[in-house]
Amino acid sequence: MNQLPNELKTPAWLQLFQWISDPLGYLENNYQKYGDMFTARIVGLSPFVMVSHPQAIQEIFTTNAQKFDAGRTNGILTSFLGTESIAILDGSTHKRRRKLLMPPFHGERLQTYGQLICNISQKIASQWVQNKPFIMRQVMQDITLEVIIQAIFGLSEGERYQQLKPLLAEMLDSVSSPVRSSFLFLRFLQKDWGNWSPWGQMKRNREKIYDLLQAEIDRRRREGKLEGHDILTLMLLARDEMGNPMTDIELKDELMTLLFAGHETTATGLTWAFYWIHKLPEVKEKVLKEIEGCGDKEDPMKIAKLPYLTAVCQETLRIYPVAMLTFGRVAKSPVEIMGQQFATETMFAPCIYLTHHREDIYPNPKQFRPERFLEREYSPYEYLPFGGGTRLCIGYALAQLEMKLVLATILSNYHLELGDQKPIKPQRRGLTLAPGGGVKMMMTGKRIMKNSKVTELVGT
């Protein structure tokens, strides 16, 4: 059996420091030195083989998919998501849970969220005050949180929604800075030293969120009216092949997972998209022209099919993928990857960022160029912002729909400018890669789109 390939010489504590404080530097330097496969040793984590060759990724996602576990590599997330979250499960339990959770995120169901997304974007953007700077990430978090809460609960102005919103936002903020995100990697920091300690506060918030979720589940059961189209109703009605419903703890852990996975990620993707569109005038011009030329701007599904807008979203998630890595994959038996033998228990981490920056697939990879997605098709092992195989992100279709509709709604109604012309650098935010500072922007006027002419009413 081969040794692990290209073990990094850097001490494990220094690798942890680099991975937290400068993740892209860490990835790029090691890729330069070692290429497609290298073994990271980071204090607090098991050693793992970072892979960024499409063939290796294909073998992990598809050819050998049944030979890997992924959920157990997310053990560190149980303090947020609970032990019953789909992200933590493996094997047949995971497969069954995916079957229960997938339907609300696909097909016709998805279309029902289209108008909801446009209305929420319109409502939140209408609160902008002209020429008053704001942080785009905060606005995008408001929009995506409201979308996911309404999609899950069908609630909007309810008291429970008002209570949930700040608690969730606070919980996400508790791991937002590079320093605070060390809590996610180092178990010994996960200690509850009372309300004043960050971990203690996070735990208290989580308990409050769980109480609110339980109250909502109890209310639905008590009222017995399970006829809405929201995700919670579908989850309450779902039965496995033995005819069993989900337990309360399963329901709460899944609700938490969807709230957690479903809004911060999409908000970050959207913030990057607004940044690129306003940083690059030619991109903005093309995207506006396309939206303007769209026959039926009121039909969300028509907007969702616009090719250039789609390419802008794809390129946004290529250049700085919100998730730098997919979940880890642990071999349950010996495996062969790209002709090399690996022992049972070897952990692999398909690296989305490095794959998306390969010169041989994406010439000039540091350049934001949506056209590359119009010129050729990429395989699911070359372009993988949502991971792949049996763990492909459940919300991938919702997230892409949401990105396009929020962008189209706001771009066609408002004239925006960046608050600062300096290039924005990506920065770790918890487990994600987000624009440093959240992107300061300003609404400088309202825009009215007419048949073939964009009229800007600056000063209205």
Q: Write out the residues near ligand HEM by the rule CB under 6 A.
A: 70, 86-87, 98, 148, 257-258, 261-262, 265-266, 269, 322-323, 326-327, 385-388, 391-395, 398-399
- Strand, helix or coil at 131? coil
- The nearer residue to ligand HEM, 19 or 327, going by C-beta atoms, is 327
Q: Is the dihedral of CA 228, 234, 235, 240 positive or negative?
A: positive
List, in sequence order, every beta strand (DSSP E) within 31-189: 37-40, 48-51, 68-69, 134-135
CB 289 to ligand HEM: min, Å: 25
Q: To which H or E segment does residue 433 belong?
A: strand 432-435
CB 54 to ligand HEM: min, Å: 14
CB 446 to ligand HEM: min, Å: 28
CB 344 to ligand HEM: min, Å: 20
CB count in 10 Å sphere of residue 160: 15
Distance, in Å, from the CA atom of 306 to the CA atom of 158, rounded to the nearest integer, reads 35
Pairing outcome for strands 347-350 and 48-51: parallel
- The nearer residue to ligand HEM, 58 or 257, going by C-beta atoms, is 257
* Joined tokens for residue 211: 């109480």
- The nearer residue to ligand HEM, 115 or 131, going by C-beta atoms, is 115
CB 388 to ligand HEM: min, Å: 5
CA 146, chain centre distance (Å): 16
Question: Using alpha carbons only, how large is the chain's radius of gyration in Å?
Answer: 22
* Joined tokens for residue 16: 């942890």
- The nearer residue to ligand HEM, 125 or 351, going by C-beta atoms, is 351
- The nearer residue to ligand HEM, 150 or 449, going by C-beta atoms, is 150
- The nearer residue to ligand HEM, 38 or 386, going by C-beta atoms, is 386
Contact at 8 Å (CB) between 288 and 294?
no
CB 181 to ligand HEM: min, Å: 17
